[in-house]
């Protein structure tokens, strides 16, 4: 196993359990404890983990982005629920924009029962996911590949999205806060999503419940700038009142 693969598996375990132990990882991967310590040191340098006595804990700062292949395995059940709800909001023949979030990959998968969709995206993973759908029009935004994200970003990405008029833009984010609004961990992603919103008649924010009351680095917009918020569980009364006041429809699974 390559060191990168092992570190990604350690990250997945950190995402699930919030902490790891050197001796347990050494036994699991069949490598020395010193090798595991070097892995944890690399994760700490990358800002993804914090070393502790005998192991490490997850860095849960909203300014840090996990690699895409790690993020897509986090809260899978919640993302599947969101994807099913979003699919109900999309109609045959719609022109939609999907961002490069891990949640959007689940949404793309859930939409496969639809007919004659046009999908515009900056996600390499979504393009691959939809490569076997025969009656859809799949359009790549263009742009520069962001390392570790399977996503295209930059001026050409914004230009690509800006040249279309879609029915719906379906986006995710890293944090949603009543005061600070909707935020993302990376300025380039935030800028691309702003253009996606401008290029669609309706914006659907697909965000799992762990993102509420969190603030990330780059501001995307006010919460009231989206039309529909889809999440995996009913928000608390404070949020429900705030969304209603802002004219944002909230969609969540029935209890």
- The verdict on residue 159 lying in a domain is yes
Residue-level pLDDT at 11: 83
Cα separation of 165 and 199, whole Å?
Answer: 5
- Residues in contact with 13: Cβ distance below 8 Å, sequence separation at least 6, in sequence order: 20, 25
Could you tell me if 144 and 243 lie in one domain?
A: yes
Domain closes at, from 60, 85, 100: 60
The tally of CA atoms less than 13 A away on the side-chain side of residue 133 is: 22
**Mean pLDDT (whole number) for 11-40:** 89
pLDDT tens column, 67-124: 555 555 566 788 999 999 999 999 999 999 999 998 999 999 999 999 999 999 999 9
Segment 32-36 shows an average pLDDT of 92
Do 74 and 54 sit in the same domain of this protein?
no
Considering the domain boundaries, does residue 65 fall inside one? no
The verdict on residue 226 lying in a domain is yes
Domain of residue 13 covers: 3-60
Same domain, 56 and 80: no
pLDDT value, residue 220? 96
Domain co-membership, 40 together with 166: no
Instruction: Answer yes or no: is 42 within a domain.
Output: yes
- pLDDT score of 241 more than 90: yes
Same domain, 56 and 167: no
Same domain? For 56 and 149 the reply is no
Non-local CB neighbours of 150 within 8 Å, separated by 6+ positions: 68, 100, 123, 124, 125
In this structure, the answer to whether residues 45 and 160 fall within a common structural domain is no
One domain for residues 81 and 121: yes
Same domain, 156 and 219: yes
Nearest to 149 by CA among 131, 123, 121: 123
pTM, entire model: 0.79
* Residue 186 banded pLDDT, cuts 50, 70, 90: confident
Is residue 237 domain-resident? Answer: yes
CATH number at residue 217: 3.40.50.1360
Q: Are residues 47 and 93 in the same domain?
A: no
Domain count, the chain: 2
HSE value, Cβ hemisphere, 13 Å, CA-based, for 124: 13
Mean pLDDT of the chain: 91
């Amino acid at each position: 196993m390559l060191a990168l693969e092992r570190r990604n598996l350690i990250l997945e375990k950190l995402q699930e359990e919030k902490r790891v132990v050197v001796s347990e990882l050494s036994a699991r991967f069949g490598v020395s404890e010193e090798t595991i310590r070097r892995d944890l040191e690399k994760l700490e340098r990358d800002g993804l983990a914090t070393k502790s006595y005998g192991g490490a804990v997850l860095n849960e700062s909203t300014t840090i982005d996990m690699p895409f292949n790690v993020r897509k395995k986090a809260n899978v059940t919640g993302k599947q629920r969101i994807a099913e709800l979003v699919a109900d909001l999309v109609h045959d023949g719609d022109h939609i924009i999907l961002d490069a979030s891990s949640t959007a990959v689940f949404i793309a998968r859930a939409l496969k029962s639809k007919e004659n969709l046009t999908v515009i995206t900056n996600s390499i993973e979504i393009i691959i996911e939809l490569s076997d759908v025969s009656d859809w029009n799949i359009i790549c935004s263009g742009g520069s590949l962001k390392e570790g994200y399977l996503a295209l970003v930059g001026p050409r990405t914004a230009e690509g999205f800006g040249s279309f008029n879609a029915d719906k833009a379906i986006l995710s984010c890293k944090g949603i806060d009543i005061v600070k609004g909707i935020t993302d961990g990376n300025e380039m992603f935030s800028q691309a999503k702003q253009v996606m919103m401008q290029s669609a008649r309706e914006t659907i924010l697909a965000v799992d419940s762990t993102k509420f009351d969190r603030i990330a680095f780059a501001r995307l917009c006010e919460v009231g700038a989206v039309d529909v918020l889809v999440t995996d569980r009913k928000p608390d009364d404070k949020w429900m009142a705030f969304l209603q006041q802002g004219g944002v429809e909230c969609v969540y699974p029935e209890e």
